[in-house]
Structures are given as structure tokens and as C-alpha cells.
Amino acid sequence: MNKFIALSLLVFSLITTSCGGEKEQLGTEESQIENYIKAKHLTISDSTEDGLKFILTKANPLGTVLQSGQTVSVNYTGKFIAGKKMDKEFDSGSFSFSLNGGEVVKGFDKGISKMKVGEKAVIIFPSAMGYGSSGAGSIPEDTPLLFEIEVVSVK
């Protein structure tokens, strides 16, 4: 019985410690994002509770509003907030995907959902909305991401 209690306490402490680390990491990333926005003198147009920052750089009031499930074509450049471009896969180019269809990371979907055809924006989001604590390819774990995006068309 004592072994069971000791094991239970060990498991509980490991769980609570790991959750605390995730919250601490998010706080660090939020600070990095806020510092970047201040240093670049950017004006946030919108933000979400999960940390996405949306900066509209070119409005198009008459542009088509995007709907979930539509195929959206965008031009984009992916960067780290330290300024370095990501590898060629994210460097720049055109890309089409189903909006909110699970084809891209959560931050990319959520940021583009705020746009209309013909608009340009910068979206910045923490790793929890990107590649998380695993990373992907040349993207390190726990890395906030920045995308400069132009919505070209929608079908």
C-alpha cells in the first residue's frame, strides 16, 4: 500500500511539473513575441487568447470573406521572430489549402481566417499553435513563428 501511495505521488508530481513547464515556456514565448512587436513598432489589429497576434498590413474592405472549407491560395514568407527565414519549404511562395481543414498548423489557419481576398498581414504565434515541443525539420522545438501573408484567391 505504501508503495502505491509513493508511486501515485511520484506520478502526480511529474504531471504537475510538466504542466508548469509548458506554462512557463508559453510565458517565455509570449515575451519574445511582445518584444518583437515593440522593437518593430507593429500595431496589433487582433489577437487571440491562445497567443496569436494579427497585424493587418494591407486592408481590402471589398475583398471576399473567407469561409471554412474553402480552398485559399496565399503568397507567404515564413520566418522566426529573430528574423531568420525558415528553410526553403517555408521560405516563400504560393500555397493552396482548405481553410480550417487541418492541412496546416493551427496558427496559420487561425490567422488567415481573419483575412479577406487581397489583404496582406503578418501573423505571429507561439509554438503551441505551430510545431510545439517537437519542432519540424529545421524548425526548432518551442519556437514562435511569423508569417507574412497575402491572400490571393479563394474557391
Q: Report pLDDT digits (tens) over 59-116.
A: 999 999 999 999 999 999 999 998 788 765 566 678 899 999 999 999 999 999 999 9
Please identify which residue in the block is written with the cell numbers 489577437. Answer: 47
Residue pair 112/99 in contact (Cβ under 8 Å)? The answer is: yes
Q: Give the model's pLDDT for residue 3.
A: 46
Lowest mean pLDDT among 9-18, 39-48, 81-90: 9-18
Q: How far apart are the first and last CA of the chain?
A: 63
91 versus 17: the higher-pLDDT residue is 91
Residue 92: the pLDDT is: 65
Q: Report d(CA 20, CA 136) in Å as an integer.
A: 23
C-alpha cell read off for 23: 506554462
Q: Three cell numbers at 84? A: 531568420
- CA–CA dist 98, 11 (Å, integer): 41
Q: Write down the number of H helices and E strands in the chain.
A: 3, 6
Quick check: 144 and 33 in contact, CB under 8 A?
yes
User: Residue 137: which CATH number?
Assistant: 3.10.50.40
pLDDT of residue 46: 97
Q: What percent of the chain has pLDDT over 90?
A: 70
The gap from C-alpha 122 to its chain's centroid, in whole angstroms, comes to 11
Strand order in the sheet with 120-125: 46-47, 53-58, 120-125, 145-154, 71-80, 93-98
**Domain count of the chain?**
1
- Domain range for 88 is 2-154
Instruction: Find residue 150's DSSP bridge partners.
Output: 75, 120
110-147 pLDDT, tens digit per residue, is 999 999 999 999 999 999 999 999 999 889 999 999 99
Whole-prediction pTM: 0.80
